[in-house]
Amino acid sequence: MEPTDKGRGGELDVLLHTEQTFPPPKGFAERAIANDPSIYERANADPEAWWSSWAEKLEWAEPFSQVLDWSDPPRAKWFVGGKLNASVNCLDRHVAAGAGDRVAFHWEAENADDLGAEGRRGVTYAELLDMTQRFANVLRSVGVGKGDVVGIYLPMLPEAVAAMLGCARIGAIHNVVFGGFSAESVRERMEFSDAKLLVTADATLRRGEPIPMKPAVDGILTALPKVEHCVVVDRCGTKPAMTEGRDLFWHEALAEAEPVCEPEQMDSEDPLYILYTSGSTGKPKGILHTTGGYLTGVTATHRLVFDLKDDDVYWCGADIGWVTGHSYIVYGPLANGATSVIYEGAPNYPAEDRWWEIIERYGVSIFYTAPTAIRACMKWGDEHPEKHDLSSLRLLGSVGEPINPRAWLWYREVIGGGRCPIVDTWWQTETGAIMISPLPGLTTTKPGSATIPFPGIEAKILDSEGEEIEEGAGILVLTRPWPSMARDLYKESDRFIETYWDRYGRDTYLVGDAARRDEDGYFWIVGRIDDVINVSGHRLSTMEVESTLVSNPKVAEAAVIGIPDEMTGQAIVAFCIPQGSGEGLEGELREYVAEKIGKLARPKRIVICDDLPKTRSGKIMRRLLRDIAAGEHLGDVTTLRDPDVVQDVVRRFADQGD
Ligand code: PRX
């Protein structure tokens, strides 16, 4: 299905075929924070001085004595000897500077119109600090302290931000799980990380309906003896069952808590958080970020990539449960003292113009979202944004997956009115902060390219031997340490080295993406080189979905691949050999995966087959399955254990697609 860009299609097609480039608009460039091109030379000539200049903008309880210790790569130490607290940097210092009444977040409930004043809350820096300190005291009162892990499984609420910062205040390590993941995924992540406490909500509102969270969590808490307490935010008033002594309501506990909480002064290299993301195996990886370097990286990138000024109203539409939410809803914007929007619900609820209504209401000037969402809006039609005054917008951002030029151009024309630069930002959970992106006042953009590395970052494309490819396609690597780099995989240090630092040496970070570099040195991300599928900007491992499928007694074997999809970038197709009759199994298995992992992992198609193409040694040939799904010529299949299987799978794929 082609997304329609009603009304503007002809215009966009012309642009597409001219391969037009877009220099920064003159007025924008003149006023931009980064408007001197020598910033790149200066940063790259002395990256340590560059990063140090950003670190110095933070408030340190004890200054650092060394910018970088890279004597034992890939074990980086940034801002050695420095001590600081992330919540102090995000809150206290702004309040102390007189910005207590400044709005940190305009929170918009999904059912804002039904809730009256409560449905649209302006949470000031002083209020967020109060909530954070009280929650931090609640944590301390139940015995959570420095180095303990706290799980957070919440909808998009200001409480989610306060929960994260409350952990940071006392040196507890937060482990946020996206609210759309299943309880089973929460259980796995809490167990891997030995979490001591879990914060959740009674329910989350989705398209007007409360979807229970606490009741689902109850089912896993019994299997998690190390989780001693569960704090419950009462979002929907659904009166969940509360276990005496274990469960506390957020509002009751905070009301009773002391309002002041002394911050724990953390070493620059003390952990700030872990965030699980999918890797090539079935087991999610716990990416570990530390305090000083991470805060420095997100502060610098958020300020310069988004050209953030005092009067901006910034809105990142991601969920707090992903790294984009951590870096560009919570830590970057708050460290920079920004005023942001947090919207709780679906973009098309109650109607397809909800996002544009929000932009108009709050006068949003910087808007950051994912290509999959842009494509959905494009499909819904221009009439929705056209109903609203979007003239407050001055900058647009994209993240999470390659943006196709057609969506890029639509975003620019229809949402940005042709006047807003677009920053296509490439980065990862592991990089912590944006690595490749335009600087909007300096970089000429090309639709579909994330352009060039951020000042101080060095990216290269290598061939399989490790030789650099100056122009052409290959494997993307980062060849210099940067402050917000992941320090480890939680409790899996060997896996950290094997996954990222073995292929080309201990000082070359293997990103896991293939990319192309063009004649101007611009980077174009091609896709993953591992068994990771990117569905709507969310990373999922094929192995994770496969092992879930085979955990169903009706499935004997499963092979999962990603196929291109107009709307979601990639979509999941699972080929399954049933245990017994496969009759009517497709729908059941799709729901099974959605329930076990979360809706985002629900396969688009399940293809039931008698057998799968395998090598003589019994390895499933996923490449062949991808060719079958793409309708490609299959080439020589005689090396397979049973070449006849291929035709059967081709036929099943075609038949079951109807
Ligand atoms: O493949 C790249 C893709 O998303 C991966 C990182 O996923 P995650 O850790 O979940 O973080 C997503 C948000 C930062 C990358 O390895 N990716 C991310 N941004 C882009 C992208 N691909 C192309 N263009 C981007 N702007």
Query: Can you tell me the distance from the alpha carbon of 173 to that of 150, in angstroms, rounded to the nearest whole number?
Result: 6
Query: Can you tell me the distance from the alpha carbon of 319 to that of 50, in angstroms, rounded to the nearest whole number?
Result: 30
Residue 196 lies in a domain: no
Residue 641 lies in a domain: yes
Q: What pLDDT was estimated at residue 634?
A: 80
Q: What pLDDT was estimated at residue 234?
A: 98
Q: What pLDDT was estimated at residue 13?
A: 55
Residue to substitute in 399, 422, 454, 509 for testing ligand 1 pocket (most ligand atoms within 8 angstroms of CB)? 399
Tokens of 584: 């009517």
Instruction: Say if residue 618's pLDDT is above 50.
Output: yes
CA of residue 326 to ligand 1 center, whole Å:
14
CA of residue 187 to ligand 1 center, whole Å:
25
Place of tokens 């990603």: 562
Smallest CA-to-CA distance from 84 within 334, 298, 269, 265 is with 265
Q: What average pLDDT does range 25-31 have in this prediction?
A: 97
**Which atom in ligand 1 lies closest to the alpha carbon of residue 538?**
10
Residue to substitute in 539, 540, 600 for testing ligand 1 pocket (most ligand atoms within 8 angstroms of CB)? 539
Residue 544 lies in a domain: yes
CA of residue 369 to ligand 1 center, whole Å:
12
Count of the separate structural domains present in the chain? 1
CA of residue 420 to ligand 1 center, whole Å:
22
pLDDT tens per residue across span 257-286:
999 999 999 999 999 999 999 887 778 999
Residue nearest to atom 13 of ligand 1 (CA): 400
Instruction: Say if residue 6's pLDDT is above 90.
Output: no
In order, the DSSP letters of 583-638 are TTHHHHHHHHHHHHTBGGG--SEEEE-S---BBTT--B-HHHHHHHHHT------T
Q: What pLDDT was estimated at residue 7?
A: 41
Residue to substitute in 428, 531, 532 for testing ligand 1 pocket (most ligand atoms within 8 angstroms of CB)? 428
Tokens of 143: 């015995």
CA of residue 527 to ligand 1 center, whole Å:
9
CA of residue 379 to ligand 1 center, whole Å:
23
**Which atom in ligand 1 lies closest to the alpha carbon of residue 539?**
10
Residue 588 lies in a domain: yes
Cα dist from 619 to 443, 612, 615, 624, 651, whole Å = 46, 10, 5, 12, 21
281 with 541: CB under 8 angstroms? yes
Residues 6+ apart with CB under 8 A from 306: 312, 314, 366, 368, 395, 397, 423, 440
Residue 556 lies in a domain: yes
**Ligand 1 site residues, Cβ closer than 6 angstroms:** 277, 323-324, 399-402, 424-429, 450, 512-513, 525, 528, 534, 539
**Which atom in ligand 1 lies closest to the alpha carbon of residue 511?**
16
Residue 524 lies in a domain: no
Q: What average pLDDT does range 172-186 have in this prediction?
A: 96
**Which atom in ligand 1 lies closest to the alpha carbon of residue 424?**
26
**Strand 395-399 relative to strand 422-425: parallel, antiparallel, unpaired?**
parallel
Residue nearest to atom 14 of ligand 1 (CA): 428
Instruction: Say if residue 59's pLDDT is above 90.
Output: yes
Q: What pLDDT was estimated at residue 2?
A: 36
Q: What pLDDT was estimated at residue 8?
A: 45
Residue nearest to atom 11 of ligand 1 (CA): 428
- Give the domain extent around 643: 531-656
Residue 42 lies in a domain: no
Residue 558 lies in a domain: yes
**Which atom in ligand 1 lies closest to the alpha carbon of residue 525?**
23
Smallest CA-to-CA distance from 191 within 221, 231, 229 is with 221
* 230-234, 281-285, 634-638: segment of lowest average pLDDT: 634-638
**Which atom in ligand 1 lies closest to the alpha carbon of residue 403?**
24
Q: Could you tell me what percent of the chain has a pLDDT over 70? A: 97
Which long-range contacts does 70-73 make (Cβ < 8 Å, 24+ apart)?
Answer: 70/481, 70/507, 73/481, 73/501, 73/506, 73/507
Average pLDDT in the chain: 94
CA of residue 426 to ligand 1 center, whole Å:
6
Q: How confident is the model at residue 16 (pLDDT cuts 50, 70, 90)?
A: low
CATH, residue 628:
3.30.300.30
pLDDT tens per residue across span 547-573:
899 999 999 999 999 999 999 999 999
Query: Can you tell me the distance from the alpha carbon of 125 to that of 138, in angstroms, rounded to the nearest whole number?
Result: 20
pTM over 0.85: yes
Q: What pLDDT was estimated at residue 19?
A: 76
Alpha helices of 35-84 — where are they, by DSSP H? 38-45, 47-55
> What burial class does residue 119 get, using C-beta atoms within 10 Å of its C-beta: 0-12 exposed, 13-18 middle, 19+ buried?
middle
Q: How confident is the model at residue 5 (pLDDT cuts 50, 70, 90)?
A: very low
Residue nearest to atom 15 of ligand 1 (CA): 428
Tokens of 646: 């291929």
